[in-house]
Amino acid sequence: MPMSKAVSAFLDRGSFDARDNLAKRALRAFGTLAPMLNNAYDRGDERGFLECQRGLDCALHAFACINSEREYPFAGDVHPAIVGLSEACKDIREASKFAGGLLEQAEAVVHALQGTLTPVCTISGVRSVAIYRGAHCERAFASIAAEVANDH
């Protein structure tokens, strides 16, 4: 997640406020899971991709719950949907209390998959080359096998 200067400054600043600390955890989880999601896609790891997406959703919703009560000025820089989600959370009484459970789920995904979803080697600048891994390879092979079966 490319962070704005305001988000980076917020993460670096010390705080004793429980909501600020929850917001920091949400931002860190979001920042960790975003590249993991890309790595899962590059690897063709469907389960990893879906788990990272779930973790990102949990982190994003946790931050929205906190932002609905605190209204951080940099919230729109985190994700385009955060302002709308935060508005929707304003109808929930004490929304920030839901953030802890959501964050536990997001952090569990990070903990479970962080060692396995490392970056893979990619070829940049060559559009005619595609490297298929995992589910991408299985789908491509199934498509070719179906074509061959239909031809004969």
- 41 within a domain of the structure (yes/no): yes
Are the CB atoms for 52 and 70 separated by under 8 Å? no
Are the CB atoms for 116 and 48 separated by under 8 Å? yes
Question: Is pLDDT of 31 > 70?
Answer: yes
- 147 within a domain of the structure (yes/no): no
Token pair in block for residue 58? 């949990």
Alpha helices in 5-122 (DSSP H): 5-12, 18-43, 46-70, 75-78, 82-89, 99-113
Query: Which domain, by its residues, includes 76?
Result: 5-119
- 144 within a domain of the structure (yes/no): no
Distance CA 120, CA 64 (A): 32
115: Cβ contacts below 8 Å, ≥ 6 apart: none
- 126 within a domain of the structure (yes/no): no
Nearest to 11 by CA among 2, 20, 19: 20
Distance CA 91, CA 128 (A): 50
CB atoms within 10 A of CB 84: 11
Count how many domains the chain has: 1
Q: What percent of the chain has pLDDT over 90?
A: 38
- 64 within a domain of the structure (yes/no): yes
Are the CB atoms for 103 and 62 separated by under 8 Å? yes
Most confident of 30-39, 117-126, 128-137: 30-39
Question: Is pLDDT of 122 > 70?
Answer: no
Q: pTM of the entire structure?
A: 0.77
What's 121's DSSP letter? -
- Mean pLDDT estimate for the chain: 85
With cut-offs at 50, 70 and 90, classify the pLDDT of residue 2. Answer: low
Q: What is the CATH number of the domain that holds 110?
A: 1.20.120
Residue 18, CA distances (Å) to 61, 96, 117 in order: 17, 10, 31
- 49 within a domain of the structure (yes/no): yes
With cut-offs at 50, 70 and 90, classify the pLDDT of residue 18. Answer: confident
**Given this model, what pLDDT does residue 57 score?**
95
pLDDT tens digits for 78-113? 888 888 988 888 888 887 788 999 999 999 999 999
Give 112 or 147, the one with higher predicted confidence: 112
